[in-house]
Structure 1
Amino acid sequence: MSIILCSAVALLAAAAPLVSAQTLVVDQSTIEANSTTVAPAAEAVPADTTAADIDYFGAETVQLTDSVLANLTELNLSNISLFGFSDNATLSKRALPTSCKVFPGDLLWPIPVVWKIFNLLVGGALIETTPLAAPCYNDHPQVRNDAMCSYVTNNFVNNSFMHADDPTSVMWPLYQGLTCMPTTDPTQKCTLGAFPSYVVKATTVAQIQLAVNFARNANLRLVVKNTGHDFNGKSAGAGALSIWTHALKDLKYIANYQQGSYNGPAIKAGSGVQAFELYDYANKLGVTVVGGEGKSVGVTGGYLLGGGHSPLSGLYGMAADQVLSMEVVTPDGRFITASDSVNPDLFWGLRGGGGSTFGVVTSVTIKAFPKMISSVATFSFSSGNGVSSDNFWAGVRAYFDYFITFTDKGAYEYFQIMSTGPDTFTFGMAPFFAPNMTQAQLQTLITPWLSTLSNLGIQVTPQYFSYDNFYDAWNNHFPLESVGLPTIKTASRLFPKSNWATESSLNTTFDAIKSVVLDGSTILSFNIAVAKNSGENNSVNPAWRNTCLHAIQGAFWSTNATQAEVQAASKKITFDWMQRWRDASPGAGAYMSEADILEPNFQQAFYGSNYDRLYALKQKYDPTGLLYTPTGVGSENWYITGQVDAIPTQNGRLCPISFKSRFPKRAIRA
């Protein structure tokens, strides 16, 4: 049976009158368009038609193909179907004269029947966005629900799983615009702000292909969400269509995987798999894999695509270094494999060039390593109770003396430094993580530092833990992330090992970090290095290859702060505190997923010497700029309208910089 959308539907001409809005022509007969006759617009690709070295998950065998489209695009129109693949590099004919992305309320914004047909084509997977906190408000179409509002409110800053499991919630809401936050005043307004207008809950490749094609051909803004962890809210976008990959949870163990020079065990993981799921799966198989520190992080999403630092980086390198093969839907809507032997340029760019940049990844095959023992130590110390602030800082400075020693052994330390009052400070080690070390080896490693602390009058009694596997050590000692804070802005810096080469350069580094704590910042940091044997033929920021310290700082303001106060705090962290760190580490960089959205020269800071090559790759695979993320490759070609100085959000229309330069005085309604 062939299926042809009736020309009266006029999907490609949203402004045209609709004569019979939901009919199909099937074998010369007109029938109603519904979930039985249309959905899904996909076909199962038989296993024997796939390449011999590609092992698709079930979700990946359900694809949008040319034969499917042949039954959907026979319309009385000369231009391409809204759902067809791209066959050239020109912008959509539906683009506004300004070339800004089509926005809700525009003449060319798809009319309701088009969204309904799209929903039919994706098998009912389309979700109209309801913000997570909407049940707290009277004015939102969703009926107010006090019990749900209470749950969201109580979990908003301490339950990252709640945000990950929501189609549109972002874990760092400042850049969404804070438009629908939990509230005790239900008479306030809940608006979408930078939440996307619609979401496709992807369970098949075909649904992703249809969303990519629809967004490209209709000139819609397109965003991708896995969990929403990125510090800069890259999965947000006003008026956007979003692809939610969270449900792609397949996992498969391959005992003997061959790709290039690699021959050994591997795990293939869907792009929705989170760290706790991947680590647990690997542990039950008696192997170890490289993934994130955070429990709810989506390992094969933006985390890995941005490089991905790990508690195992000191032994095996970055998460991106472990990738053997990837399946991806590219901006032209095609589903392809990328590896050393197939599409190697894309393979290079995907491994470190950032998420939502070159395509939508559906699965990744990564190396698996032998099961290993792990040891952990946790402790803290503070000024006060006989410990002067000078001795406190001397104890922290003594820790810096051992950074190279610790990372040379493969250790990964997660620590915090903060002010707790006037001239009082605290240091927390939670945890000192020692993969592939016995407890005795860990104690021997840190005893010299602890002895220095004792000589300073700082008595520390660590708690030690030992495990026969990585998973239990990780699961028991890394905390669930605090997220959702609307009163914080963060920034970070990768400090190179060369800063530890001399006493003078180390003192400069330490003084720069200490100075911002004295000014009111809180420091959350990782003593981390990347193993030299990990292989570097990918686009991971080269700064990672020389890093000894990944330091994150935060600026805070009160819940009732004025816009001017928030702007001042934002500028303070970017142009004062962070500048001290940049001055102390010239030519270094920052980790793009945990960084300042206002980072000056982000191209150098986040991508280093790889940027020019990445930019050329972006023009090759995404010439129309379908995939945009703040600070992503090529993002300098776009801007968001209606922005407030120093408080960038995604709550506005996405427009090309070329329009702003051509029509600087012309207003664009945000």
Structure 2
Amino acid sequence: MLTKFLLSLLAVQHLVGAVNFAWEETQLTKDDIATFDSIAFADTALSVPVDSNINIATSSGRECKVGPWDTAWPTEAEWAAFNTSLDGALIMTVPQGAVCYPNDPHYDKAACAAVVEATAHSGGIVVDPSNIVQPWSAGEPCNITETPIGNCSLGGFPVYIVNATTVKHVQLGVNFARNKGIRLVVKNTGHDFVGRSVGAGALSIWLHNLQGQKFVPDFSGSNYCGPAARIAGGIQGWQVYNFMADNNISIVAPGESTVAILGGFTAVGGHSALTSYYGMGSDQAIQLQVVTADGRFLQVDTDNNADLFFAMRGGGGSTYGIVTSAVVKAFPPLTLQTAQFVWSGSLDANFSSPNIDPFTGAITVDKEAFWSGVREYIQFSRSVSSARGIGICNIDPPTDPLSGLFQMTGQFILPGQTLNDATAFLEPFFSTMIQLGIPLTQSNTTTITGQAYNTRRTGQGDPVSQNRFSSRLFPRTNWADPALFNATVQSIRAAKWQGFPNDAVNPAFRETLMHAIAFDSASPVKDGRVLPAKVVNAAHARLDSFIDAWRKLTPGSGAYMNEADVQEPEWQQSFFGDHYPRLLHIKRHRDPWGVFWAPTTPGSEAWEVVVADGLPLQTGPLCRT
């Protein structure tokens, strides 16, 4: 009996070890650094001050990270030696739009037309080593258009990029940047709305080509036993959905197909169609493989480096280390029951009765009926959340002054329910809508459809835009108090009318019933250039005034950092809540050199990007505050 037990234990240990990817075994060694001390590991035994490895930048006279504008910037010979250590994986940045500029050496008319078409959706951006979904934070330096104005430049894009395909590549990038005092940025897919994946004068580590997925039916370890999967750092949502289909399982994954499951999704929280059912994305990680600021490669779980395991599941992206892969929970296959509906409101004072388009089924009602329907949708969402489902809606203000129509597009998603259960559950909502004068029914204007959660997807992604936005998490208490609920609905109307486990995810998310986002109709970009600071700041002030009303209705709550304003006031509390002091301590302990820096992450207040006009761009040197 003892022999059988020992054999079983050995088998489990072998299984756990076997899930590592082959490229994770290629790591930096002492022999690699013997003749090139610029890639040496940090001496973690030393007490290193937080502001070490900095340079006096002659451009500003402040303590700053080394950039191309400094004499301390590595020579061409040093960059060549670094590239040799990388086996040729170093890329000199060429912005994706360079092929569109006739005066640029990379100009190619046909290639420009292709890249313009491809980058209309996020899938065409994530495959580029430097570009991000909202490049205005890089100063919009190289507009992707067939009719560009001016010249293509780097702006806030990094100078060099490590195309990482092994752990060794990641270690080399971290060590070289730290030892040379260069700003380091990390790009996964570039779904970046606050400027975390770009930086002027920086070295970037690109994780896109860290690939691989493995299903582990009987994972054992890290206080978890059961089905799991090892996911590589560069894997995107669409790849995970296809992997789920291949293995007939469910994994909590991003809703947008080109978001990386181990990028900001896990690092900052990660909400999805299964948030109410299985929890946040950060709740799913069982084990992380991480390159830390000293260049070491660590296993991170409840038994090993527990401080990092807490911090790196919800405590901020690009902050504590670089995740090369992770083991995440896997669940049985699920069916989602979804009800989708659309109704419009009219500004016409003479409009009184509902109008239904016989071809599309679209419903138009008067303004007050419209907002009564929105109120009912928000009210009913509490029941949907209690049923472990979610509601998603979008309210569009009038764009056509002649029609004067504004539109509500909504849906409810109910995981794990049968069609009959979902129909019975949603019946009170549809009955109330009819009573309000919005003739939504389950038989004509909308239907409930069932679809497997692990339905296959493509990597095209969603359409992209350059609009700024801000957000707020509304807690359950706003539904419990009728007066507070009324004020909540009115604040959303005003904004639209005018324009569980031991991880570090923002505690406000655990009490949230509604994640509300307000988009500014005014883009900070025009004709491929960021507008003057006066114009951008005025637009932001208008947006912030509406969000401030939401903040006052939700004291002590917060915002979701991945979908928030980079200029969010008191962001430490708003993005991290009561976890912030602990996260700051972990950051200072694990990265005393300030290797990893990104806006509005723990410890980031010790540094700032110096930009002449004060806009929240990544186009200047990174300096001590």
TM-score by structure 2 length? 0.89
Question: Are the structure 2 counterparts of residues 295 and 186 from structure 1 closer, same or farther at C-alpha, using a change threshold of 3 Å?
Answer: closer
Q: Give yes or no for the alignment of 1:101 onto 2:65.
A: yes
Kindly state the Cα deviation for residue 425 of structure 1 after the two structures are TM-superposed: 1.6
Amino acid at match of 1:654: L
Higher RCO (C-alpha under 8 Å, 6+ residues apart): 2
Matched residue, 2:83: 119
Contact 2:333 2:454 survives alignment (8 Å): no
Deviation of 1:470 (Å): 1.1
3-state SS of 1:203 partner:
coil
Whether 2:598 is the aligned partner of 1:629: answer: yes
In structure 2, the CA distance between the partners of 1:136 and 1:309, relative to structure 1 (3 Å rule), is same
Q: What is aligned with 1:146?
A: 109
Q: For 2:518 and 2:54, locate their aligned partners in 1 and report how far apart those are by CA, in whole Å.
A: 44
Where 2:227 maps in the other structure, the secondary structure is: strand
Q: CA deviation digits over 1:330-373, x for unaligned, max 9?
A: 00000011000011111111111111100011001001011122
2:191 pairs with one of 229, 248, 261: 229
Match of 2:494 among 483, 497, 515: 515
Matched, 1:455 2:435: yes
RMSD: 2.1
Which position in structure 1 is the counterpart of 2:145?
183
Spell out, residue by residue over 1:58-117, the C-alpha distance to the aligned partner (whole angstroms, 9 max, x if none): 1110000223323x24xxxxxxx2110001325666733743011113101111111111
Read off the aligned partner of 2:506 and give its amino acid letter: N
Residue 260 (structure 1) shift: 3.6
Q: State whether structure 2 residue 584 is matched by structure 1 residue 650.
A: no
Task: Give yes or no for the alignment of 1:443 onto 2:437.
Answer: no
Structure 2 stretches lacking a partner, 5+ long: 1-12, 354-364
> In the alignment, is the contact (CA less than 8 A) between 2:479 and 2:485 conserved in 1?
yes
Paired position in structure 2 for 1:466: 450
1:489 aligns with 2:462: no
Alignment of 1:404-415 (within 5 A): 404-415=382-393
Q: Does 1:339 align with 2:320?
A: no
Q: Is the 8 A contact 1:492 1:596 kept in 2?
A: yes
- Residues in 1 aligned to 2:532 and 2:305: alpha-carbon distance in whole angstroms: 50
Residue 400 (structure 1) aligns with: 378
Q: Distance in 2 between matches of 1:480 and 1:59?
A: 27
- Structure 2 CA distance for partners of 1:187 and 1:456, relative to 1, 3 Å: closer
SS of residue matched to 1:175: helix
Q: How many residues align?
A: 577
SS of 2:129's partner is: coil
Query: For residues 149 and 492 of structure 2, what CA distance do their matches in structure 1 show?
Result: 44
Give matches, 1:355-434, under 5 Å.
355-384=317-346, 386=353, 387-421=365-399, 424-429=405-410, 431-434=411-414
Contact 2:242-2:457 at 8 Å conserved across structures: no
In 2, Cα distance between equivalents of 1:292 and 1:93:
37
Alpha-carbon deviation of 1:508? 1.2
In structure 2, what is the equivalent of residue 503 of structure 1? 482
* Other structure's SS at 2:151 match: coil
**CA shift at 1:562, angstroms?**
5.2
SS in 1 for 2:468: strand
> Match of 1:327, SS?
strand
Q: Deviations over 1:542-573 (max 9, x none)?
A: 01100000111111226366543222111221
Task: Give the C-alpha shift of residue 479 in structure 1.
Answer: 9.8
Deviation digits for residues 356-404 of structure 1, max 9, x if unmatched? Answer: 1000110010010111222222220001373110110011111122121
- Please, which moves more after superposition, 549-558 or 495-504? 549-558
Q: 1:53 to 1:345 in 2, by over 3 A?
A: farther
Task: Determine if contact 2:561/2:575 at 8 Å carries over to the other structure.
Answer: yes
Structure 1: how far apart are the matches of 2:420 and 2:271? 26
Partner of residue 569 from structure 1, selected from 539, 542, 549: 539
> Within 2, Cα distance between the matches of 1:394 and 1:131?
48
Percent identity of equivalent pairs: 37
Deviation, 1:178, is 1.0
What is the TM-score normalised by the length of structure 1? 0.83
Give the partner amino acid of 2:85.
L
3-state SS of 1:304 partner: helix
Q: Aligned partners of 1:210 and 1:288: how far apart in 2? A: 35
Aligned-residue offset at 1:153: 2.4
Task: Tell me the residue number matched to 1:6.
Answer: none
Please identify, of 243-252 and 371-380, the stretch whose mean Cα deviation from structure 2 is larger: 371-380
- Offset of residue 187 of structure 1: 5.7
2: CA distance, partners of 1:296 / 1:408: 29
> d(CA) in 1 for partners of 2:86 and 2:605?
33
Contact preservation (8 Å) 1:92, 1:216? no
Residue in structure 2 matched with residue 586 of structure 1 by the alignment: 555
Q: Per-residue deviation at 1:184?
A: 4.0
Alpha-carbon shift at residue 413 of structure 1 (Å): 2.0
Pick the aligned partner of 2:285 from 323, 335, 350. 323
Could you tell me how far 1:120 is from its partner in structure 2? 1.1
The answer to whether the 8 Å contact 2:55/2:65 transfers is yes
Q: 1:334 to 1:317 in 2, by over 3 A?
A: same
Q: Distance in 2 between matches of 1:424 and 1:553?
A: 19
Q: Which amino acid aligns with 1:285?
A: N
In structure 1, what residue type is equivalent to 2:422? L
Counterpart code for 2:209: A
CA–CA distance in structure 2, aligned partners of residues 261 and 60 of structure 1: 23
Letter in 2 for 1:389: K
Q: Which amino acid aligns with 2:290?
A: V
My pick for the range that moved more, 586-595 or 535-544, is 535-544
- Could you tell me how far apart the structure 1 residues matched to 2:309 and 2:250 are? 23
Supply the AA of the counterpart residue of 1:233: G
CA distance in 1, matches of 2:434, 2:460: 28
Q: What is aligned with 2:581?
A: 612
In 2, Cα distance between equivalents of 1:224 and 1:192: 16
C-alpha contact (below 8 Å) 1:95/1:218 kept by paired residues: no
Identify if the C-alpha distance between structure 1 residues 106 and 304 changes in structure 2 by more than 3 Å, giving closer, same or farther: same
Q: Give the letter for the 2:618 counterpart.
A: Q
- Does the C-alpha gap of structure 1 residues 186 and 404 become closer, same or farther in structure 2, counting only changes over 3 Å? closer
**C-alpha separation in 2, matches of 1:191 and 1:225:** 19
What SS class does the counterpart of residue 422 from structure 2 fall into? helix
Q: Which moved more, 1:146-155 or 1:541-550?
A: 146-155
Q: Give secondary structure in 2 for the equivalent of 1:610.
A: helix
In structure 2, what is the Cα distance between the partners aligned to 1:287 and 1:652? 46
Gap change, CA 1:111 and 1:570, over 3 Å in 2? same
> How far 1:314 sits from its partner (Å)?
0.8
Q: Is the 8 A contact 2:381 2:390 kept in 1?
A: no
Q: Is the 8 A contact 1:307 1:319 kept in 2?
A: yes
Aligned residue type for 1:442? A
Paired residue type of 1:586: P
Q: Which amino acid aligns with 2:406?
A: F
Residue 269, structure 1, aligned to residue 252, structure 2: no
Q: Is the 8 A contact 2:384 2:412 kept in 1?
A: no
- Which letter does structure 1 place at the counterpart of 2:42? S
Cα separation, partners in 2 of 1:439 and 1:189, compared to 1, 3 Å: same
Deviates more, 1:268-277 or 1:147-156: 147-156
What amino acid is the match of 2:38? Answer: L
Q: Which amino acid aligns with 1:353?
A: G
1:427 maps to a residue whose letter is M
The 10-residue stretch of structure 1 (133-142 or 490-499) with the greater mean CA deviation from structure 2: 133-142
